[in-house]
Structure formats: structure tokens, C-alpha cells
């Protein structure tokens, strides 16, 4: 039976559902962008009519336990594929619903609060790297969380993980006009930089697009808008900063989805449908406003 957003899907369910969605579609196809350290294929939905259109890349699931992000990305995939004629006229979409499948499965089977990948570390029995500290931008500049067992271990070197390499190569290959990465939680729409409280040159454009999108939230979420170092904290080696600083992507956001009643990462499954609908609405506003800027 077809996935209906009534529960949090396992990795195979995400992929099975994507396969159902692309049946009889003209512009939508499933592509492989890499392989995890435990040999799971990392898939993306690509929706493209013309290779001349600006590219929009959306990902989710850098952090294993942030299950709201995976389901939100899957719902966005469902909607974009359903309305592929309309969307593909504007832009090419690459949507990766689960960048870290090893960690995601581990958070289902063994440790609900697992954050990192599941790769082996040379000098420690603690496993995994924080993918959002593993990008080659101000990598490991300052941190007291540099040991293997830390939740935010940045890895032995930038791009030590096949998952961050997969994301890097996808961004370098498609040279997107916009890149958005979904996380949870905090109800934040953040733009770079994350490594400094300074703001990027185009911060006012980024701020306006985010504000308009935040106002469209209709499930009671109050989104806060700002640069990630200012509204959250300073952190190095993030995919957002890398995309803007090193890959030259002009429009970049990290979205932290809402938390539910003090439940932190554990969202009640009845909340999935209202949350994913709200998130799609916000993303739709962002897509149209980003397209207007192009
Ligand atoms: O710390 C992170 O990686 C993100 N927050 S989370 O709670 N989902 O782990 C925020 C990343 C913001 N971007 C940068 N600091 N570059
Ligand atoms: Zn996260």
C-alpha cells in the first residue's frame, strides 16, 4: 500500500514511495547521487523540463533524528511531481529526502536520538561524523567538540564522508541558483553565514524572501528569520555556508522545522500531515519568490 504520511517511513518506504510517484510522469525521474558508508544508495528526485532553467536543490536528513525533515521533503516531492508541468516550466528541482540513510535507519532501529553518520572512526569506537560540520568551509576552526564521540564531530578532514561528498558533487554539477537544507527543530528560516555574525552581501534579499515565506505558515508556527550565527549559534563546516562561499550559490537557506509541545525531535505522528502541509506552503512561497529574483 502507498505511503500516506500517517507514520514516519523507513528508508526503503521513502524510496518505494518515490518510485510510485514517478510512474507515468513526463519530467520527474529518480537519480542516484552517491552511496553511504554502509552502502545505501542516496537517491534524489529530479524534475526537469529544460536544462536551461535555473536549478533548485533541496535536501533533508543530514541529521538522522530530525525525522520531521525527511517527511517534509517527501511531501514536497509528492507535490512537485504531481504539479510537475507547472513547476518544471520554471525551474529544475533536485530533492534529496535522506542524505544520511545509515543514520536514519539507526535512529529507527537502535537509537532514536542518533545525529551523525555511521562511519567507523580510526582512533575511537564512537561512530559517525556530523555531516553539517564536515564541509570545507571554515572547517573545524574553533570548537571544543572535536573528539570522535562528540555529537558535532567534524570528521578527520573536510569531506571525509561519502554523504557530504555526494551533496558537494551534486551542487557542483548542477550549479543551483538556490539551495535549501531542511533540519529540525526550532522554527527558523536561516541564511548564511553560520561561521560568523557578519552578513553576506545579499542578506537583504535573503531576509525578505524568508520573511514573506514565514508569514505564509498556517499551522500556528512562528518562524524566526535571520542569519544562522545570529538566530542560532556559530558553527563551522556547514553545507549552507559551503554552498554560498565555495560553490557560489546565491540563495541559500537552512530551515529548522517546528518542535511539537516540548517533544523535541519526537513529533507525534498525528502532527505529520499538518506539519508537512505547512512546510510545503512555505517552500512554495520561497520557490516563487526565488524565481522572481532570478
Ligand atoms: O547545528 C546545525 O547543524 C544546525 N542545527 S541542528 O539543530 N539541526 O543541528 C544549524 C546549522 C546552521 N548553519 C550553520 N551553522 N552553518
Ligand atoms: Zn540538523
Q: Do 132 and 66 touch, CB atoms closer than 8 A?
A: no
pLDDT bracket for residue 266 (50, 70, 90): confident
Tell me: pLDDT of 144 over 70: no
Query: Which ipTM score applies to this complex?
Result: 0.99
pLDDT bracket for residue 253 (50, 70, 90): very high
Cβ atoms < 10 Å from Cβ of 174: 19
Backbone angles phi, psi at 255, to 5 degrees: -110, 125
Closest CA relative to residue 139, chosen from 250, 241, 255: 241
Can you list the domains of the chain with their CATH numbers? 11-293 (3.40.630.10)
Tell me: pLDDT of 176 over 70: yes
**Which residues, in sequence order, are CB contacts of 122 under 8 Å at separation 6+?**
156
Helices (H) and strands (E) in the chain, counts: 9, 8
Question: In the block, which residue shows the cell 533524528?
Answer: 65
Predicted confidence at residue 143, as pLDDT, reads 67
Predicted confidence at residue 259, as pLDDT, reads 80
pLDDT in tens, 37-67: 999 999 999 999 999 999 999 999 999 999 9
As a whole number of angstroms, the distance between CA 84 and CA 86 comes to 5
Q: How far is the CA of 63 from the centre of ligand 2 (A)?
A: 5
Mutate to test the pocket of ligand 1, among 66, 184, 253, 254 (most ligand atoms within 8 A of CB): 254
* The three grid cell numbers given for residue 143, joined into one nine-digit string: 570548537
Ligand nearest to the CA of 196: 1
Predicted confidence at residue 120, as pLDDT, reads 98
As a whole number of angstroms, the distance between CA 43 and CA 17 comes to 12
Ligand 1 atom 1: the closest Cα is on which residue? Answer: 235
| Ligand 1 atom closest to residue 229's alpha carbon, by position in its atom list | 15
For the stretch 146-151, contacts whose Cβ atoms lie closer than 8 Å and that sit 24 or more positions apart, written own/partner, are: 148/121, 148/123, 148/124, 149/124, 151/115, 151/116
Backbone angles phi, psi at 184, to 5 degrees: -150, 145
Amino acid at each position: 500500500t502507498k505511503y500516506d504520511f500517517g507514520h514516519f517511513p523507513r528508508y526503503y518506504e521513502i524510496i518505494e514511495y518515490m518510485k510510485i510517484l514517478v510512474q507515468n510522469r513526463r519530467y520527474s525521474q529518480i537519480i542516484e547521487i552517491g552511496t553511504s558508508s554502509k552502502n545505501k544508495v542516496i537517491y534524489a528526485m529530479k524534475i526537469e523540463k529544460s536544462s536551461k532553467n535555473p536549478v533548485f536543490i533541496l535536501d533533508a536528513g543530514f541529521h538522522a533524528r530530525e525525522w520531521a525533515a525527511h517527511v517534509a521533503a517527501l511531501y514536497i516531492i509528492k507535490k512537485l511531481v504531481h504539479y510537475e508541468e507547472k513547476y518544471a516550466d520554471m525551474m529544475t528541482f533536485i530533492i534529496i529526502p535522506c542524505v544520511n540513510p545509515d543514520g536514519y535507519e539507526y535512529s529507527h532501529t537502535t537509537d532514536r536520538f542518533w545525529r551523525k553518520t555511521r562511519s567507523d572512526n580510526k582512533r575511537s569506537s564512537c561512530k559517525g561524523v556530523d555531516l553539517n560540520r564536515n564541509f570545507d568551509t571554515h572547517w573545524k576552526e574553533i570548537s571544543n567538540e572535536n573528539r570522535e564521540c562528540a555529537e558535532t564531530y567534524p570528521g578527520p578532514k573536510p569531506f571525509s564522508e561519502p554523504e557530504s561528498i555526494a551533496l558537494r558533487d551534486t551542487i557542483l554539477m548542477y550549479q543551483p541558483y538556490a539551495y535549501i537544507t531542511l533540519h529540525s527543530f526550532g522554527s527558523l528560516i536561516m541564511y548564511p553565514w553560520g561561521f560568523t555574525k557578519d552578513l553576506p552581501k545579499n542578506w537583504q534579499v535573503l531576509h525578505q524572501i524568508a520573511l514573506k515565506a514565514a508569514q505564509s505558515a498556517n499551522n500556528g508556527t512562528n518562524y524566526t528569520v535571520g542569519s544562522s550565527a545570529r538566530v542560532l549559534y556559530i558553527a563551522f563546516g556547514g553545507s549552507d555556508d559551503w554552498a554560498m562561499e565555495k560553490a557560489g550559490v546565491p540563495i541559500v537557506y537552512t530551515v529548522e522545522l517546528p518542535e511539537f509541545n516540548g517533544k523535541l525531535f519526537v513529533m507525534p505522528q498525528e502532527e505529520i500531515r499538518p506539519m508537512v502541509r505547512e512546510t510545503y506552503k512555505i517552500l512554495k512561497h520561497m520557490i516563487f519568490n526565488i524565481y522572481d529574483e532570478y
